[in-house]
Amino acid sequence: MNAVGETQGINTEAFCPVVISNIDTTGAGRMRRLFTSGQCFVFGCLSHGQPVSRRPNTEVLRGLERPGMEPGVGATIHHQVKNLIIQLLTVLDKRGEPMTPDEKIESLNLILPDPIKLPPGVDINFSWVRVRGSRVFVSGHIALNADGSVYDVVGKVGAEVSIEQGYEAARQTGLSILSSLKRELGTLNNITAWLRVFGMINTAPGFVQTPLVINGFSDLILEVFGDEVGDHSRSAVGMAELPFGAPVEIEAEVEISS
């Protein structure tokens, strides 16, 4: 907690771990209240009439503030806590409409990776995304780096890969799936429902906390699409091995508007 937080009397430690930072909101910047709960206020910053949440590096601007606090105090919140906040509020644009999934990805600075770079000698004869009417079937994806190479963390969860690393791998796998969906559909905005998610975890013998790992994927989908569209059925099962030593592989089915 820095001096700014102390002088404003925020008991952030009772709420969640945060890093408080000063944000310049001079000029046309103005604060708009989006959600209130007791003594805690969540704000979004508007600049030149445009929601700052649409612009890069703006998640830090949505902070926890109390009445009387100087404008421009933001909070960077651990993503698991941030997900809870996002589920409590709908970030509205100037027309009072929810942000679209494409806009939410931009506002959260999420990077959708390039198509997978398969190892030498590996060929595939299937589609990553198959559209049939309003149903979209997504083949099993693994976590990728931004350039499409296989994610740096490999191995078995419960052995060389921790639960936290597995969670992040599941989140990165989600970004790989979103990337494939956007390439196939042109936009994520016409996804009307996430129907089914099948999560596979490369587990060490005796590891049974598989749901905690696939939560990384579910949290991402709910963060981007919200509860109504993002809610999904799900499995999280352990596997003896997964392709290329990946800790997580996920397949899914979504519904799109016709």
Name the H helices within the chain: 3-8, 79-88, 101-107, 163-185, 210-230
Quick check: is 211 in a domain? yes
- Claim to verify: residue 63 and residue 142 sit in the same structural domain: no
The residue among 54, 81, 99 that closes a domain is 99
**How many C-beta atoms lie closer than 10 Å to residue 95's C-beta?**
6
Q: Please write the tens of the pLDDT for every residue from 220-238.
A: 999 999 999 999 999 999 9
Per residue in 173-210, is it b (16+ CB within 10 Å) or e — as a string? bbbbbbbbbbeebeebebbebbeebbbbbbbeeebeeb
Q: Please write the tens of the pLDDT for every residue from 127-176.
A: 999 999 999 999 999 999 999 999 999 999 999 999 999 999 999 999 99
- Claim to verify: residue 143 and residue 66 sit in the same structural domain: no
Q: For the chain, what is the domain count?
A: 2
- Claim to verify: residue 50 and residue 136 sit in the same structural domain: no
The residue among 81, 99, 117 that closes a domain is 99
- Claim to verify: residue 153 and residue 78 sit in the same structural domain: no
State which residues form the domain around 83: 3-99
Quick check: is 66 in a domain? yes
Quick check: is 110 in a domain? no
**How many C-beta atoms lie closer than 10 Å to residue 74's C-beta?**
22
- Claim to verify: residue 155 and residue 249 sit in the same structural domain: yes
**How many C-beta atoms lie closer than 10 Å to residue 160's C-beta?**
13
CA distance 73 to 186: 37
pTM: 0.66
Quick check: is 36 in a domain? yes
For range 1-25, the mean pLDDT:
35
Quick check: is 42 in a domain? yes
Q: What is the largest CA-CA distance in the chain?
A: 63
Q: Which of 66-70, 99-103, 125-129 has the lowest mean pLDDT?
A: 66-70
Q: Please write the tens of the pLDDT for every residue from 69-94.
A: 444 434 334 455 555 555 554 444 44
